Amino acid sequence: MAERRMFSKKIVGSARFLRLPATARLLYYDLGMQADDDGVVEAFTVLQMTHADESDLNALVEKGFVRILNDDLVSLIIDWKTNNLIRKDRYIASFYRYLLPDFDGIPDDNQRLTDGKPMVNLGKDSIGKDRLDQYSIGKARGKEPEPFDPNEFDSIREEFIGRFSREPDRAFLPSIKAHMVAGKSEQDVIEVIRQAAQRHPHNPEAYILAALKQYESKPQELPAAARPLEPWEQDWIAEVQRRREQMGGYAT
């Protein structure tokens, strides 16, 4: 995924955008920076990382800047193609491509059967534009989430509870599942949970999900003080600190 994102003046300079609260406008930039090449972003993770209020996300939805795609607040930045033009040779399809309104039912190569036929059902229950248009935060919150078996990740859940003495947030394990499908191992996740207990115990879910996006291989076992923070960790912590100061204190 690209390290740089752009924002069109046609969007962020419009009256529709400038009439939004400053906090909602800032959240839009945060969502844009975390979005993949299709403009899809895990808004729940961004809310946790930045301590933004869900009402700001709701404002972006109501004004037509963001569309909620599922119950876990996976979201689409509607004007993404106006903001960003990505070269075909650098484009990486979204992990959540199947949620997009223009998805044609043809998955990536690693989702095909050996005879070349896609492993998808294109019947009447397929996700389409009309169905996605019905989503808003209120409606998504009111629906039952898609079936998910938390017992599938017992060892990860037990590690989390053992480190933080509480259950993880509802969306945490489904997000972990997405990372594991994308190639992370169970040991990778457990290692990052251990790091979170040392480095950011007050808001571990956001730290863990952010760290997994950068995590490539299992690091050597080192005391917390022995390993310097990675640049992305320093930037992330600095941003959290800046928001704490703006809010006049730490929000748990």
- pLDDT tens-digit map of 72-115: 899 999 998 899 888 888 888 888 888 877 654 444 443 333 33
Kindly provide the b/e burial profile for residues 118-154, where b requires at least 16 CB atoms within 10 angstroms of the residue's own CB. Answer: eeeeeeeeeeeeeebeebebeebeeeeeeeeeeeebe
Query: What is the per-residue pLDDT for 200?
Result: 76
What is the 8-class DSSP label of residue 134?
T
Q: Which residues contact 195 (CB under 8 A, 6 or more apart)?
A: 207, 211, 224
Give yes or no for a contact between 211 and 196, defined as CB atoms under 8 angstroms apart.
yes
Query: What is the per-residue pLDDT for 96?
Result: 86
What is the 8-class DSSP label of residue 115?
T
Average confidence (pLDDT) per 10 residues, the chain, 252 residues = 81 94 95 91 93 92 91 90 84 83 48 38 42 47 50 84 85 81 84 86 79 62 59 78 70 44
Query: What is the per-residue pLDDT for 202?
Result: 76
Give yes or no for a contact between 107 and 98, defined as CB atoms under 8 angstroms apart.
yes
Give yes or no for a contact between 57 and 43, defined as CB atoms under 8 angstroms apart.
yes
Q: Which two tokens stand for residue 200?
A: 């950011």
Query: What is the per-residue pLDDT for 67?
Result: 92
Cα 77–111–98 angle (5° rounding)?
Answer: 25
Q: Is the dihedral of CA 41, 42, 44, 46 positive or negative?
A: negative
Query: What is the per-residue pLDDT for 128?
Result: 43
